[in-house]
């Protein structure tokens, strides 16, 4: 077998054999297939697609490149959630302790942010003392004692994906449904969760800008999970405007704690509860309504124990930025658009995100939103506040902000998609 014949097959719109797929994924992981050869193959896959069989085999090959975790020894069933990423998407933070408070163990192996979407680990690292890296034994111990753990995926899990994802990131080959679906699902299947709920985002702030593409990605992942014995369901959710009222690491932790305390923005609460109900149903546990676990403080108890178990201090004040800048409305009317992508880019430019994997992020940088689409605005009202430790970034961050919103005359009809657009199950 050689890399050139595999590349040629896909370049010429052929179907890769099982043997070709197994070989190329394994040889790439071992360094026998060069980055430039894998880049060419990834581009051929992006341009010419893959059949369902090819996607399934490619996923299997990536799983086989590393270890598989096993949670079967736990006393409770497991469920995990994966979001395809968005702006202000802090849902994992309240969701994991909430689902654990309802009796299901949540092994949440998470990542860092790259580009305009934030990463769960970056957010939690703004909690003083909190540590993202756990050994497998430590992870299992936290999961057994607390019921929820959010930590970095170890290097042993789907190493082929780790290498390939970094390559795709710099070769313009991220936006391929077969490659995204196999990348996400190889990690989730190798992680060993019993049930999985996917939050597939659609809109300007998401990978998938188009509803039909998002639906196809969701279907592909639900099929992959189901075929591998993981009870999998997907929600298609709106990401044309940021979730909640904050985008940025410590700002999002603060908002998540508000949700766990029984408050928080309505959209964050709605999506957290919807995903929690899906996770409990998929895990076959319906003893407690998640809304009650927010109201009675039991989800907050799990949050505090989860943070403490990883060295964090849930009572320590969260960092605040050295400088802030308030943007006010220049006219009165109704806010008809607040663009998720523009806000994500601005938060990133303020220091909340990174351009390269090795870069640090600012814990306190980000954006607070004082109005959301549908709100009435008066001239001079604050629309958003920009926060950063490095104020020289303000002009650069303001560029996307100036075209991020529309204010229309009062009474202009607002045509917003619902937050939860659709639900994809193995049978839909
Ligand atoms: N997230 C992943 O883990 N992989 C992708 O390919 C895209 C998003």
Q: Which atom of ligand 1 is nearest to the CA of 111?
A: 3
Q: Which CATH class is domain 323-408?
A: alpha beta
Is 80-154+167-315 in CATH node 2.60.40.1120?
Answer: no
List, for residues 53-63, the tens digit of each pLDDT value: 999 999 999 99
- Pair of tokens at residue 17: 């054999």
Handedness of CA 24, 25, 30, 33 (dihedral sign): positive
Consecutive H or E run containing 387: strand 382-388
Residue 110 bears catalytic tag: no
Of the given ranges (49-53, 274-278, 298-302, 416-420), which has the lowest mean pLDDT?
A: 416-420
**Model confidence at 114: pLDDT above 70:** no
Residue 161 bears catalytic tag: yes
pLDDT of residue 123: 96
Q: How far is it, in rounded angstroms, from Cα 160 to Cα 163?
A: 5
Q: Which atom of ligand 1 is nearest to the CA of 174?
A: 6
Q: In CATH, what is the architecture of 3-49?
A: Up-down Bundle (1.20)
DSSP 102: T
Residue 72 CA to ligand 1 centre (angstroms): 26
pLDDT of residue 82: 96
pTM recorded for the entire structure? 0.95
Does any ligand 1 atom lie closer than 6 A to the CB of residue 58?
no
Average pLDDT over residues 90-100: 98
List, for residues 307-336, the tens digit of each pLDDT value: 999 999 999 999 999 999 999 999 999 999
**Model confidence at 428: pLDDT above 70:** no
Q: What is each CA distance from 383 to 85, 133, 346, 407, 416, in whole angstroms?
A: 24, 37, 14, 11, 19
List, for residues 371-412, the tens digit of each pLDDT value: 999 999 999 999 999 999 999 999 999 999 999 999 999 988
Residue 62 CA to ligand 1 centre (angstroms): 13
Residue 187 bears catalytic tag: yes
List, for residues 132-157, the tens digit of each pLDDT value: 999 989 999 999 999 999 999 888 89
Please tell me the residue having the least CA distance from ligand 1 atom 1: 184
- Which distant-in-sequence residues (6+ apart) come within 8 Å of 192 by Cβ? 68, 69, 70, 71, 72, 78, 107
Q: Which of 163, 168, 201, 231 is catalytic?
A: 168
Please tell me the residue having the least CA distance from ligand 1 atom 7: 180
pLDDT of residue 356: 76
Average pLDDT over residues 244-268: 98
**Model confidence at 358: pLDDT above 80:** no
Q: Which of 83, 110, 182, 183 is catalytic?
A: 183
- The ranges assigned to domains in the chain are 3-49, 80-154+167-315, 323-408
């Amino acid at each position: 077998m050689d890399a050139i014949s595999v590349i040629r097959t896909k370049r010429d719109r052929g179907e890769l054999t099982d043997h070709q797929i197994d070989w190329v994924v394994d040889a790439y992981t071992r360094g026998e297939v060069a980055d430039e050869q894998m880049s060419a193959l990834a581009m051929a896959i992006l341009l010419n697609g893959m059949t369902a069989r090819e996607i399934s085999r490619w996923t299997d090959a990536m799983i086989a490149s590393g270890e598989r975790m096993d949670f079967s020894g736990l006393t409770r069933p497991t469920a995990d959630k994966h979001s395809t990423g968005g702006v202000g998407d802090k849902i994992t933070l309240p969701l994991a302790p909430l689902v654990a408070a309802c009796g299901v163990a949540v092994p949440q192996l998470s990542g860092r942010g790259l580009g305009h979407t934030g990463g769960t680990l970056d957010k939690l690292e703004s909690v003083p003392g909190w540590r993202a890296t756990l050994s497998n034994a430590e992870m299992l111990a936290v999961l057994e004692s607390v019921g929820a753990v959010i930590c970095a995926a170890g290097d042993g899990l789907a190493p082929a994906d780790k290498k390939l994802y970094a390559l795709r990131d710099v070769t313009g080959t991220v936006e391929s449904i077969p490659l995204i679906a196999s990348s996400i699902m190889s990690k989730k299947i190798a992680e060993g969760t019993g049930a999985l709920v996917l939050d597939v985002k659609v809109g300007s702030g998401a990978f998938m800008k188009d509803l039909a593409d998002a639906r196809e990605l969701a279907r592909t992942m639900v099929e992959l999970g189901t075929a591998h014995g993981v009870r999998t369901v997907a929600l298609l959710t709106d990401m044309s405007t940021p979730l909640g009222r904050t985008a940025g690491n410590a700002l999002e932790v603060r908002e998540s704690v508000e949700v766990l305390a029984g408050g928080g923005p309505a959209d964050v609460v709605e999506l957290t509860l919807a995903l929690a109900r899906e996770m409990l149903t998929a895990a076959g546990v319906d003893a407690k309504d998640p809304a009650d676990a927010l109201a009675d403080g039991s989800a907050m108890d799990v949050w505090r124990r989860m943070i403490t178990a990883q060295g964090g201090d849930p009572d320590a004040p969260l960092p605040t930025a050295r400088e802030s800048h308030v943007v006010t409305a220049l006219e009165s009317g109704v806010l008809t658009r607040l663009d998720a992508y523009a806000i994500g880019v601005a938060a990133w430019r303020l220091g909340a995100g990174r351009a390269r994997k090795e870069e640090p992020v600012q814990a306190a940088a980000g954006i607070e939103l004082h109005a959301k689409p549908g709100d009435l605005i008066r001239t001079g009202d604050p629309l958003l506040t920009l926060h950063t430790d490095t104020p020289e970034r303000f002009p650069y961050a303001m560029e996307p902000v100036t075209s991020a919103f529309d204010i229309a005359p009062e009474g202009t009809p607002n045509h917003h998609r619902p937050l939860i657009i659709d639900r994809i199950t193995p049978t839909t």
